[in-house]
């Protein structure tokens, strides 16, 4: 079927026809499983500017031209959307003759953007596996953003919907409030938080006199009102880890960052530098909120005895700053230039 570009009205008709098909036409009941985790039962609505094609032999729906798929709080935008379906488990092998079917894979190509509960994921191509609740996004400019965080990657972004985990692979970078973590692989653990003003309109209404005439818009009409937002609570870093804030730069083979406390722990081949001052060891702790870094003894030596730490501190009488890696301020005389 060739894409139909005749008129916006005709495109709207096609959208409505597909919506009716997806929510339960007697001949083909396909909507029950579209992007449908086990805990939910929401229909999928699809819109497209250039038409929607149903390939029965290939068991696929193809929406082309500024295609948008919406299900609950989730929206996926792309140039082309492909939904692949199969016979539902327990539904028999009745094929298209009135049998139950389920969508098991959704593919998005070209200018892909997914938004859900305060998260936005951008890439060139995305594949969503409904059996694993896993979406893999690839492309040249991969980006995941929340209200507080930015995560980028070179090779791929993986999103595990049920576990609320994002994995960035290849020159991965996570940024929050000037704090940056880089590594070969970053695993970000997300948490959901409700907006603080979600119940504010109800409380404020108690102290107001009754109103007549025009009615004000309900809070639910505002974007994101009454819905949960997502943010990163922890980041695990693996391979060529680099952690930076305003003062310190830490390096190691592995790292764990707690976004709430600002504590980052580095393990194996750790080097923490502030200006020309350097400390080295196998176990470092950086408090990115308080600008205090420590190198601690490690018991990883074959003999079992703690490994000693090393430090190199270079005096620079002309430097102005807030002190060395230990966090202590220099003596007042250190501010004088020779």
Residue 146 has a pLDDT of 92
Predicted pLDDT at 230: 83
The parts of the chain modelled with pLDDT lower than 50 are: 1-39, 92-98, 198-225, 319, 321-323, 327-338
Report residue 186 as tokens. 């970053």
Q: Is residue 314 packed enough to be buried (19+ CB in 10 Å), middle (13-18) or exposed (0-12)? A: exposed
Cα distances from 276 to residues 279, 309, 315, 319, in angstroms, run 10, 17, 9, 10
> Is 71 among the domain residues?
yes
Q: Is residue 3 part of a domain?
A: yes
Within-domain flag for 325: no
43 falls within a domain: yes
Q: Given this model, what pLDDT does residue 154 score?
A: 97
In a domain, 88, yes or no: yes
Question: Per the structure, how many domains does the chain have?
Answer: 1
Q: What is the pLDDT of residue 246?
A: 85
Q: List the domain range (segments joined by +) for residue 52.
A: 1-116
Q: Is 167 part of any domain?
A: no
The rounded distance, in Å, linking the Cα atoms of 98 and 113 is 34
Given this model, what pLDDT does residue 311 score?
A: 66
Q: Which token pair is 265?
A: 């722990």
Task: Report the chain's terminal Cα–Cα distance, integer Å.
Answer: 81
Secondary structure of 242-264 in the HEC alphabet?
EEECCCCEEEEEEEEEECCCCEE
pLDDT of residue 79: 97
pLDDT value for 299: 55
pLDDT for res 207? 45
In a domain, 182, yes or no: no
Q: How far apart are CA 86 and CA 149, in angstroms?
A: 38
- pLDDT at residue 298, as a whole number: 72
Domain assignment of residue 53, yes or no? yes
CA distance 205 to 284: 52
- Could you give the CA distance from residue 166 to residue 152 in angstroms, rounded to a whole number? 11
**Residue 69 CB contacts under 8 Å (≥ 6 apart), including other chains:** 35, 44, 45, 46, 63, 75, 76, 81, 83, 106
Query: Is 252:268 a contact under the CB 8 Å cutoff?
Result: yes
Q: Is the dihedral of CA 69, 74, 78, 84 positive or negative?
A: negative
């Amino acid at each position: 079927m060739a894409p139909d570009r005749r008129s916006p009205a005709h495109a709207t008709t096609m959208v409505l026809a597909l919506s009716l098909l997806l929510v339960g036409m007697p001949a083909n009941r396909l909507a029950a499983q579209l992007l449908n985790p086990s805990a939910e039962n929401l229909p999928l609505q699809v819109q497209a500017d250039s038409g929607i094609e149903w390939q029965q032999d290939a068991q696929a729906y193809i929406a082309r031209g500024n295609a948008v798929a919406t299900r609950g709080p989730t929206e996926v935008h792309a140039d082309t959307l492909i939904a692949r379906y199969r016979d539902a488990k327990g539904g028999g092998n009745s094929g298209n003759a009135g049998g139950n079917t389920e969508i098991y894979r959704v593919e998005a190509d070209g200018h892909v953007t997914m938004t859900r509960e305060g998260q936005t994921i951008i890439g060139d191509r995305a594949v969503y596996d409904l059996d694993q609740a896993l979406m893999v996004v690839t492309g040249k400019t991969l980006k995941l953003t929340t209200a507080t965080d930015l995560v980028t990657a070179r090779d791929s972004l993986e999103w595990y919907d049920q576990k609320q985990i994002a994995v960035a692979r290849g020159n991965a970078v996570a940024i929050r409030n000037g704090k940056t973590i880089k590594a070969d692989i970053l695993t970000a653990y997300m948490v959901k938080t409700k907006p603080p003003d979600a119940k504010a309109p109800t409380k404020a209404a108690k102290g107001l006199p009754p109103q007549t005439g025009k009615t004000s818009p309900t809070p639910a009409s505002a974007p994101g009102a009454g819905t949960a937002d997502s943010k990163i609570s922890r980041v695990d870093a693996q391979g060529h880890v680099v952690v930076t804030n305003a003062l310190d730069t830490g390096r190691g083979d592995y790292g764990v960052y707690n976004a709430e406390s600002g504590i980052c722990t580095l393990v194996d081949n750790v080097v923490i530098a502030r200006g020309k001052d350097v400390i080295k060891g196998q176990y470092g702790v950086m408090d990115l909120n308080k600008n205090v870094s420590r190198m601690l003894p490690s018991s990883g030596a074959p003999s079992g005895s703690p490994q000693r730490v090393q430090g190199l501190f270079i005096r620079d009488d002309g430097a102005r700053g807030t002190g060395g890696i230990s966090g202590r301020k220099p003596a007042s005389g250190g501010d004088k230039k020779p």
